[in-house]
A = this chain, B = another copy of it.
Amino acid sequence: MVAVAWVGGKVRFIDQTKLPVEEQYLETEDWRVIAAAIRSLQIRGAPAIGVAAAFGLCLALNDHHDAIPGSLRTSWKEAAAGLAASRPTAVNLFAALSRMTSALGDDFTADASCLRERALREAMSIQQEDVDACTRIGELGAALLPPDAVVLTHCNAGILATAGSGTALSIITTAARRGLIRNVYVDETRPLFQGARLTAWELARAGVPHTLITDNTAGSVFRTRKVNAVIVGADRIAANGDAANKIGTYPLAVLARYHDIPLYIAAPTTTIDTSIPDGGGIPIEERNPREVTHPAGVRVAPEGVKVFAPAFDVTPHELIHAIVTERGILHPPFAAAIAALRLPSPASPPGSSRP
């Protein structure tokens, strides 16, 4: 199973909003469907969003009309802008769009089939690099865990969130294959239950022992059961190591510190945004209040109640024990460790609404 794939000129993806009740795949030749799928979280997870956006741009090249000069460029720019506007926090989206545009060198004079091939080659590189990064993150991170480890994870940073084996879950499944995992506590992850719906489903498929909890039970788990590590993904990491991830990560980080449990962030280097000095600069998406007032689609709150529904929070670097990337494990001080990677600063894609 892969979250997003290029199959015979179409993008094929699993509808993550239907899991685990239904395992439904969708196919499209329209980048607008991809943008909508990212917005509605049918496709989610920072690296998977990046790969989907790259394939989405490839689809945009089908939109042009040979008879209209400049129509390839117009289609591309429209798609890049539309895809960039789908979600604001995961930097992989903007990095992928920017890289795709660079690959074409802003040269739309070549014939359409040649451009399509060039775009697809780049998108497939982005995909393959993410597959490789996931594998490497799993290997490096698994080495951090003791035998008989009990870990806790939040949201879903697995196969469904990436092109490969995941980030946080790649560490966990790699460690499990080495016989290191006793149990994984899975935060359900309100409001959209990605932990309950997606992570529990992935861990069951992988045969890794796990226990589902409400997010607010993590404190009791830390207090009454031995937990060796908290391992989560990230949606954007600033130059100083501050990391935006699914809402609920920051309180977990504070709790983990209070209990002397290390918090590991697992993310490919494409998630690091060196153009942002610290977490204060990371745009935090606010979602529809209905996701809070109508869990699983059923209203539980009074009509018209005011809601504060940020999709992410920022964990300050001082609460992070290490950041596991495909290029090695970063240790504090993170600013120096990140600077040493000499990452390219992702330029905003043309027409991007990136803040």
Contacts and interface: CB of A to CB of B under 8 A. Distances in A.
Contact of A300 (B197, B248, B308, B309): B197
A251 B255 contact: yes
Interface in A250-300: 250-251, 254-255, 258, 292-300
Contacts of A196: 292-293, 300-301, 305
Interface stretch (A76-84, A207-215, A232-240): A207-215
* Dominant SS among interface residues on chain A: mixed
Contact of A298 (B258, B298, B309): B298
Nearest to A194: B300
Copies of this chain per assembly: 2
Contacts of A301: 20, 188, 193, 196-197, 200, 212
Interface residues of A, number: 54
A189 B258 CA distance: 22
A296 B21 CA distance: 16
Nearest to A210: B306
A160 to B, nearest CB: 13
Interface in A185-238: 185, 187-191, 193, 196-197, 200-201, 204, 209-221, 223
A216 B250 CA distance: 9
Given A196-B293, A307-B211, A302 B20 contact: yes
Contacts of A223: 250, 313-314
A310 interface: yes
A247 interface: yes
A213 B248 contact: no
A296 B216 CA distance: 17
A193 B254 contact: no
Contacts of A210: 305-306
Interface in A56-79: none
